[in-house]
């Protein structure tokens, strides 16, 4: 997309955050990405561990954590504090001037409490708006935003918000001004045809194939919302979307590893 500056939006999940060796390798590669970049992170086992130690019960409905007041406080501590600040501190010596924020900071991510006909997910926020001009100014100042998966309603309420969704919404919002490359980094090579065989990774997946693989139950639960986020990004103007192993970041970007998400199978990237 000529005329637009490239922006990398990279999401990492709990699995890599919980592994010091893989995390430091990933951060080295992330910091080395040229130009503008944004890191979105989840929280991983640390939140579950802390909740357990404090005797806070976790309620899950359909694979999603229900967020009560106590669970939100854990998220504020672990995502907004511990993980966010440790990532920020670790990026500086790699030459990356990181700025760690959550969705409430600077009114970055506005959301409303999730509405659902039958399930009350508690203090979970669905995103209304991303403050793209604010991110744009920070990037222009040479800062690298590091974003914790919390949003707010502007009325004083913080929410837990899925990090994949935050990455996707940020990528969409920034696509007006940038050629955005959105990378979902996780612990697998990409979209696998056989969960137990990393070599069964697809190089590319289009929306029609995704629907077909869901029907055949080749793509199952955990992967479905992740891919729905990815397809939503592609549909809404994000330049490139890739899913793959976080510590192979350069290869994901080059296209020599991971799964590229495309809307139509005839698209060329």
Does 48 sit near its own copies (CB under 8 A)? no
Tell me how far apart the alpha carbons of residues 136 and 165 are, in angstroms, rounded to a whole number: 19
Tell me: does residue 252 bind its own copies (CB under 8 A): no
Instruction: Kindly state whether residue 155 participates in binding its own copies, applying the rule CB under 8 A.
Output: yes
Binding status of residue 85 toward its own copies by CB under 8 A:
yes
17, 44 Cβ separation under 8 angstroms: yes
Whichever of 12 and 233 has its CB closer to its own copies, that residue is 12
User: Around Cβ 127, how many Cβ atoms within 10 Å?
Assistant: 21
Q: Which of 7, 29, 66, 104 binds its own copies (CB under 8 A)?
A: 104
Site string for its own copies, 202-241 (x = CB under 8 A): ----------------------------------------
Tell me the three state secondary structure of residue 179: strand
| Residue 182 CA to its chain's centroid (Å) | 9
**Which H or E run includes 152?**
strand 150-152
Nearer to its own copies, 3 or 93 (CB): 93
Task: Please identify which residue in 2, 63, 93, 117 interacts with its own copies, judged by CB under 8 A.
Answer: 93
With a CB cutoff of 8 Å and minimum separation 6, the contacts of 130 are: 108, 109, 169, 170, 172, 173, 174
CB 63 within 8 A of CB 36: no
Which residue among 19, 25, 70, 81 contacts its own copies (CB under 8 A)? 81
Residues that bind its own copies (CB under 8 A): 50, 53-54, 73, 76-82, 84-86, 88-90, 92-93, 97-102, 104-107, 134, 137, 141, 143, 150, 152, 154-158
């Amino acid at each position: 997309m000529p005329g637009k500056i490239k922006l990398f939006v990279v999401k990492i999940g709990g699995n890599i955050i919980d592994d010091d060796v893989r995390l430091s390798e990933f951060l080295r590669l992330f910091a080395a990405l040229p130009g503008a970049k944004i890191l979105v992170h989840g929280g991983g086992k640390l939140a579950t561990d802390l909740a357990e130690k404090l005797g806070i019960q976790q309620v899950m409905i359909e694979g999603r954590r229900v967020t009560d007041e106590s669970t939100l406080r854990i998220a504020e501590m672990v995502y907004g504090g511990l993980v966010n600040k440790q990532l920020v501190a670790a990026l500086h010596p790699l030459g990356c001037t990181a700025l760690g924020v959550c969705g409430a900071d600077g009114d970055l991510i506005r959301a409303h409490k999730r509405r659902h006909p039958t399930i009350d997910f508690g203090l979970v926020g669905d995103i209304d708006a991303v403050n793209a001009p604010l991110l744009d100014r920070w990037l222009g100042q040479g800062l690298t935003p590091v974003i914790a998966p919390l949003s707010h309603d502007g009325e004083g309420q913080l929410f837990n918000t899925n990090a994949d969704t935050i990455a996707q919404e940020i990528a969409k919002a920034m696509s007006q001004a940038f050629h955005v490359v959105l990378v979902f980094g996780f612990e697998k090579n990409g979209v696998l045809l056989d969960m137990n065989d990393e070599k069964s990774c697809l190089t590319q997946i289009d929306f029609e194939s995704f629907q077909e693989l869901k029907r055949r139950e080749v793509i199952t639960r955990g992967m479905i919302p992740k891919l729905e986020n990815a397809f939503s990004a592609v549909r809404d103007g994000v330049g490139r979307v890739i899913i793959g192993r976080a510590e192979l970041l350069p290869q994901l970007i080059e296209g020599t590893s991971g799964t590229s998400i495309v809307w139509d199978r005839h698209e060329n990237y």
